[in-house]
Amino acid sequence: MKFTAKQAERYSRQIILKKIGVVGQKKLLKSSVLIVGAGGLGSPIAIYLAAIGIGKIGIIDKDKVETSNLTRQIIFSTDDIQKYKSTASIKKLKKINPDINLLSFNKKLTFQNINNVAKKFDLIVDGSDNFRTRFLINDYCFKNKKILVSGAISKFEGQVYTFNFHNGKSPCLRCFIPTMPEEPDVDNCENEGILGTLGGIIGSIQANEVIKEILQIGESLCGYILIIDGLKCSFRKVKLNKRSDCFCNEK
Ligand SMILES: [Zn+2]
């Protein structure tokens, strides 16, 4: 693969970085990432991953844009209201970077379709807003030895965790939350509220971790949970070990 003149110019500020270079940028352009949820987290994740040149990006979301989404779902404009989130976000990403391959899935990720949807991608980023989807993605990534970069936001706080299931050493979401919590039918943001900027903080960190995992640079967040308090502006990295009774620990 050879860069076109336009690509060389577009990605020049990354190519100049010693840890990325031509080889790293080509690796990003050859990689594929599925973003689950085009919401408060999915918006900055998608914008950054498209801008930095991930070669293939898929977005899955069943919902349509609502007025109350616009405080944090920055990929959408007011005239996107009532449009499908995945379609509207892909349209925006095409404008940001016409150089990449974009796929939209206007549906809910389920146990029945996850194999078919996710098999086309190397890495999964979880920006979903419910535990059922989080556990579904965790179990799929563990079984299929894929890297999962997950994030969660509520009120003024957020968390980021990376599970790299390539080597069998990573803990999983069930090590952190052994049983799926009961949830009300309404989504978390509607229930508890969320400050718009938290999606930007957590989603940008998720995008950053995705790039690190693809390029194998820096220190992986795998084995830790990053806990961020937006009001205190505190960032804490807490060690997450495998639970001895978790399925990810069975030989
Ligand atoms: Zn586990």
Q: pTM for this one? A: 0.96
Q: Ligand 1 mean position to 169 CA, how many Å?
A: 10
Predicted pLDDT of residue 188:
61
Pairing between β-strand 123-126 and β-strand 101-105 as defined by DSSP bridges: unpaired
Nearest to 23 by CA among 155, 217, 178, 171: 217
Give per-residue pLDDT as tens, 202-226.
Answer: 999 999 999 999 999 999 999 999 9
Q: Ligand 1 mean position to 41 CA, how many Å?
A: 24
Q: Ligand 1 mean position to 174 CA, how many Å?
A: 5
Give per-residue pLDDT as tens, 45-75.
Answer: 999 999 999 999 999 999 999 999 999 999 9
By three-state DSSP, how is residue 159 classified? strand
Give me the residue label for tokens 């979903």.
128
Q: Ligand 1 mean position to 138 CA, how many Å?
A: 9
DSSP string, 172-198: -HHHHSSSPPP--SS-HHHHH-B-HHH
Helix (H) and strand (E) counts in the chain: 10, 8
Kindly state the tokens that stand for 74: 């920055």
Distance from C-alpha of 29 to C-alpha of 35, rounded to nearest angstrom? 16
Q: Ligand 1 mean position to 146 CA, how many Å?
A: 14
Distance from C-alpha of 147 to C-alpha of 141, rounded to nearest angstrom? 7
Predicted pLDDT of residue 191:
76
Q: Ligand 1 mean position to 178 CA, how many Å?
A: 8
Question: With left for phi above 0 and alpha for psi between -120 and 50, is residue 89 left, alpha or beta?
Answer: alpha
Question: With left for phi above 0 and alpha for psi between -120 and 50, is residue 21 left, alpha or beta?
Answer: left
Give per-residue pLDDT as tens, 83-94.
Answer: 999 999 999 999
Q: Ligand 1 mean position to 64 CA, how many Å?
A: 33
